[in-house]
Amino acid sequence: MSSTVARPPAGPRTLRPRSDASVAARVARSAAETTGARLRTEDFPQWLEGRRAAHRFQVDRIPFGELAGWSFEAATGNLVHRSGRFFTVEGLHVTADTGPFREWYQPIIKQPEVGILGILAKEFDGVLHFLMQAKMEPGNRNLLQLSPTVQATRSNYTKVHRGADVKYIEYFTRPGRGRVLADVLQSEHGSWFFRKSNRNMIVEAVGEVPLHDDFCWLTLGQIGELLHLDNVVNMDSRTVLACAPFPDADHGALHADTDLLSWFTAERSRHDVRAERVPLDRLPGWQRSEWTIDHEEDRYFRVVAVAVQAGSREVAGWTQPLFEPLGLGVTAFLTRRIGGVPHVLVHARVEGGFLDTVELGPTVQYTPDNYAHVAAEDRPPFLDLVLDADPSRVRYEAVHSEEGGRFLNAESRYLLVDADEDQAPLDPPPGYRWATPGQLTSLVRHGHYLNVQARTLLACLNATGVRI
Amino acid sequence: MSSTVARPPAGPRTLRPRSDASVAARVARSAAETTGARLRTEDFPQWLEGRRAAHRFQVDRIPFGELAGWSFEAATGNLVHRSGRFFTVEGLHVTADTGPFREWYQPIIKQPEVGILGILAKEFDGVLHFLMQAKMEPGNRNLLQLSPTVQATRSNYTKVHRGADVKYIEYFTRPGRGRVLADVLQSEHGSWFFRKSNRNMIVEAVGEVPLHDDFCWLTLGQIGELLHLDNVVNMDSRTVLACAPFPDADHGALHADTDLLSWFTAERSRHDVRAERVPLDRLPGWQRSEWTIDHEEDRYFRVVAVAVQAGSREVAGWTQPLFEPLGLGVTAFLTRRIGGVPHVLVHARVEGGFLDTVELGPTVQYTPDNYAHVAAEDRPPFLDLVLDADPSRVRYEAVHSEEGGRFLNAESRYLLVDADEDQAPLDPPPGYRWATPGQLTSLVRHGHYLNVQARTLLACLNATGVRI
């Protein structure tokens, strides 16, 4: 990272330790601290309402014909922007060799650019605080949620003339402005995006950091408290926080790390998934009307368009397509203590838009409405166990939104549910495996192991201090 | 991995240590042992010649018209097998935003199946030995080389009726037959394969292992000695050996692990590479004749066909296409001691067939003939430094073959070349970074970090005991 003199001495002082255990200790200290040095947690709701009042956005559904700059391409029916930028809505044809659904067609969002999701960190009173932003996204039911310091597409941050638009971006693009605590490419929703990944970064700032409107400093413990509330901490924040270098304190596990990796490799190898992009107007089972593109059975999701009007002076309005899932999702880890050590049951999930076949998801990740019509033997494993869970077993529950810049009212109940040997055996069905939070924390340093929903639950586990 | 009783006790005895340092110590012990308990290194050449005499293969070039079962598909000109199996030769159109070549067309091999490359290990006299196979591959100039215990495609090992064909496969597909020491999906040549990866496995056998003809047990130290010879240890062996859990003893490095990962993430994000499959008969610059598909400037590689005739009774002959690179490759790590710790200079390389944009390659990986025509300022960095290296700086050199089942006479000089600050500064050009062998060993536990050529050099470094 240095841009130093031409001939530095290659002596021992040039060497750095490979890893620095004090970082994990400082992250843990921040997670334990629920009183912030800057904004008190009890003052947060008022601060957020203040930001909401300052912006006053309005989002309305519009017919596709009123989209400005967006149109259905003649040859393919793909929904594209005339600039060639942003994203496109295309079709996907997936064939898989396992599961109740072995072949399907669906619309999919293609957005090849890698964006940056970055959180700036800084110590106040000896505790790491994280710079969070109150940000409006048109797909959020409550519009304003807490986002990372920076959410920027590559066009945003590489084009010099737009650079000034993204506050704090220089900490994430210019070496020397901070110390990197985490930096990894992670997948986004494989059911709705075609091979999309974003760069998840946490950077500890060097020197003073100016505080702009819409931004606030919070400890991980404070963010953990907000993660107990519905629809406050947005998806981008959750995935970045999942990548924080929390201490990996589990010395024992049901499966050694090498065996867990081997199982994952076997899962990736055993699935034969083909996903081919096809024209949007040639998707069997899907139909386009003036306002929506729907599945003929009114399942899964629909493609819609919205117009955003901004009340504040600086920001103009715009129009864009969004994906609107039908029904509330249920996303849960079953949890068990094994030999006294907490474990969660991960599921090697096939999603059509994954770069590589499978990633590790929560035990349960479904929209129950989509399974209302399937045969009993095809009900997803563990789904009913979570839906019918005795409240005494629920260790964590909150409703969170998926990315509000692309998805409309895409909400899921996220849960951690304690289970026993009868409900979830140590030797689970094929495709499932017990892993410790420490094992997941070590995997999430690398891309494409944990899907975005598993990362949300890992963030909730690590930041809230929930005891499983 | 257990298929045990329905209700095991979830007590402390269920837990395993996350990692087992004794494995790395045993791997290091095997690398230090150059005398085998079974076959002595000095007897190896005679053993290999014996296997060669036992098989007597003949490989002849044939025109495409004499390929049995293979033909050019009418609509696309793609070269396909009538069974739909094996692989296809298709076209690729690549656009990149960096480098002297920013857009090109080329033939590419598409083989979506994940194969297993597996080496079986077992202790004799307290030292790990590895079960290697003398295996004929039609593309090898000397036909017979030392391969892993198992090289099997998914069709081979999942179809029950073919299962008996692959000796020792049960150790790699059935839990409980051994202890997994390494298991990871790794990429193959991104310049010739479209997103191909294979499962690289090392499994320590439980119990007695029968020794079949064509197989021999060798220590890592013995294999290390054979790696000093030209064209003896095949590519599949080298990539699997690179994944062995060698001790990661480097406590200091020029860049901390987190900073190295961050640099890699930035490299993957900064490149905008698009690779689209196109019909083989619509590749500008390439022409098909009766015997070959060539580039009009006689560069890069050609597609050819061969007939294999077997002298032994058990194996029938066959015909198949192969890619034949033009010219000898040069593949090298520049090396330096930094603060007393060995480092190699890795290069974040774009290859059109990579699953994800870039992987870490050697400092130099080129066929010099392909660059004879480019402007001086577009000469690849460090290439001339390696070509002109003073012999006193060459720490390792041998010619190795690439995968002889797909590539004909595809040979490269692999080198480790010592450099100084004038030649290769600590602050290298964009796209290059100093890393320790220990850092690469920790990365290679995960897929798609190190390309296959870097893995060959890592295997040579770790197994030969070469001092850099």
The tens digit of pLDDT for each residue in B161-201 reads 344 579 999 999 987 889 999 999 999 999 999 999 999 99
Q: Which residues contact B289 (CB under 8 A, 6 or more apart)?
A: none
- Rounded to whole angstroms, the Cα distance separating B37 from B58 reads 34
Tokens describing residue A219: 């400890």
CATH 3.90.79.40 fits A257-274+326-464, yes or no: yes
Q: Which residues contact B263 (CB under 8 A, 6 or more apart)?
A: A1, B255, B433
CA distance A199 to chain B (A): 7
**Residue B411: which H helix or E strand, with range?**
strand B411-418
Nearest to B17 among A12, A252, A261 (CB): A252
| Cβ atoms A391, A371 nearer than 8 A | no
Contact B265 A20 (CB under 8 A): no
The tens digit of pLDDT for each residue in B212-267 reads 999 999 999 999 999 999 999 999 999 999 999 999 877 899 999 999 999 999 99
Tokens describing residue A375: 């045969």
* Any B CB within 8 A of A22 CB: no
| Cβ atoms A216, A192 nearer than 8 A | no
CA distance A224 to chain B (A): 24
- Rounded to whole angstroms, the Cα distance separating B148 from B116 reads 10
- Rounded to whole angstroms, the Cα distance separating A354 from A192 reads 10
User: Can you tell me whether residue B353 is helix, strand or coil?
Assistant: coil
Residues B92-113, mean pLDDT to the nearest whole number = 91
- DSSP category for residue A250: -
Length of chain B: 468
Tokens describing residue B389: 């290296």
The closest of B93, B113, B114 to B103, measured between CA atoms, is: B93
- Rounded to whole angstroms, the Cα distance separating A396 from A461 reads 9
Per-residue pLDDT of chain A (468 residues; tens, 9 = 90+): 344 344 455 566 789 999 999 999 999 999 999 999 999 999 999 999 999 999 888 999 999 999 999 999 999 999 999 998 889 999 999 998 877 789 999 999 999 889 999 999 999 999 999 999 999 999 999 999 999 999 998 777 665 434 457 999 999 998 788 999 999 999 999 999 999 999 999 999 999 999 999 999 999 999 999 999 999 999 999 999 999 999 987 789 999 999 999 999 999 998 889 999 999 999 999 999 999 999 999 999 999 999 999 876 556 789 999 999 999 999 999 999 999 999 999 999 999 999 999 999 999 999 999 988 888 888 999 999 999 999 999 999 999 999 999 999 999 999 999 999 999 999 999 999 999 999 999 999 999 999 999 999 999 999 998 999
Domain boundaries, chain B: 257-274+326-464
Contact B339 A14 (CB under 8 A): yes
Q: Which residue of A has its CA nearest to B434?
A: A1
| Cβ atoms B39, B217 nearer than 8 A | yes
- Given the DSSP bridges, would you call strands A394-401 and B178-187 parallel, antiparallel or unpaired? unpaired
* Any B CB within 8 A of A7 CB: yes
pLDDT for A301 equals 97
Q: Which residues pair with A425 in a beta bridge?
A: none
The tens digit of pLDDT for each residue in A178-232 reads 999 999 999 999 999 999 999 999 999 999 999 999 999 999 999 999 999 999 9
User: Can you tell me whether residue A322 is helix, strand or coil?
Assistant: strand
ipTM above 0.85, yes or no: yes
φ, ψ of residue B280 in degrees (nearest 5): -65, -30
Q: Which residues pair with B418 in a beta bridge?
A: B335
Contact A1 B336 (CB under 8 A): no
Binning pLDDT at 50, 70 and 90, where does residue B384 land?
very high
The tens digit of pLDDT for each residue in A422-436 reads 999 999 999 999 999
- Given the DSSP bridges, would you call strands A274-278 and A252-253 parallel, antiparallel or unpaired? unpaired
Tokens describing residue A87: 């994203």
Buried/exposed B347-383: b ≥16 CB within 10 Å, e otherwise: bbbbbbbbbbbbbbbbbbbbbbebeeeeeeeeebbbb
Q: Is the pTM of this model over 0.90?
A: yes
| Cβ atoms B121, B205 nearer than 8 A | yes
Q: Which residues contact B367 (CB under 8 A, 6 or more apart)?
A: B300, B325, B326, B327, B328, B329, B330
Residue corresponding to tokens 């012990």: B29
Residue corresponding to tokens 């986002």: A147
pLDDT for A5 equals 40
Selected residues 285-304 of chain A with any CB under 8 Å from a CB in chain B: none
Residues B84-106, mean pLDDT to the nearest whole number = 91
